[in-house]
Amino acid sequence: MVILLIVSLMAVILAFAVIRQDAPEDVPKLQSFPAMVILIIIPLILLFFFWPMYKTYYTLSQEGVHVQYGPWKKLHPWTNFNAAYWRKGMFATRIGWPTITPCVRLTNAVQLSRKKGWFPLYLTPNDPKAFLQKITEFAPDLTRETIL
């Protein structure tokens, strides 16, 4: 992931070097605006896409689960959920991409089933068992049926 970020950053630097009018003669110069936009936007999209994999945090409190996923921060109140489960093994093969957005890996997730809506909230803490035990401290009704 870090290599992809570095490659993306180098692509942006190269794009600026190519676009500059005073670039050396052996570096081709681009005069078109669309080429300049493509060379700048694609690496920025890649950086924005991989940023959540670098910075994702789950914090539990009395209010609920605070999820910081890249640049996004959201509080999910305990009242929005009716159960918490430990999804062992590879869980992403059975669900769609919109449901796994705060996950950094596709195995051993904590699934919080929502009272309303189709998609549960999947979280991938380093230690799912300890995470579920911590959920029990704040919302014991959610982990009543959970098998650890």
Give the pLDDT confidence of 126-143 residue by residue, as tens digits.
888 999 999 999 988 888
Average of per-residue pLDDT values in the chain: 77
pLDDT of residue 21: 58
> What is the distance of C-alpha 27 from the center of its chain?
37
The residues pairing with 123 across neighbouring beta strands, listed in sequence order, are: 110
| DSSP state letters, 83-132 | EEEEEEEE-GGGS-GGGGTT-SSSEEEEEEEESSSSPPEEE--S-HHHHH
Q: Tell me the chain's radius of gyration from C-alpha atoms.
A: 21
Average pLDDT over residues 97-125: 77
Burial 75-93 (b: 16+ CB within 10 A, else e): ebebebbebbbbbeeebbe
Residue 77 has pLDDT above 90, yes or no: yes
pLDDT of residue 113: 87
pLDDT of residue 91: 67
Contact yes or no for 125/131 (Cβ under 8 A): yes
Rounded Cα distance, 103 and 57, in Å: 10
Rounded Cα distance, 73 and 55, in Å: 11
> What is the distance of C-alpha 59 from the center of its chain?
15
Residue 1 has pLDDT above 60, yes or no: no
Give the pLDDT confidence of 16-66 residue by residue, as tens digits.
666 665 556 665 655 666 666 777 777 777 777 777 667 788 899 999 999
Q: What percent of the chain has pLDDT over 90?
A: 16
More confident residue, 88 or 97: 88
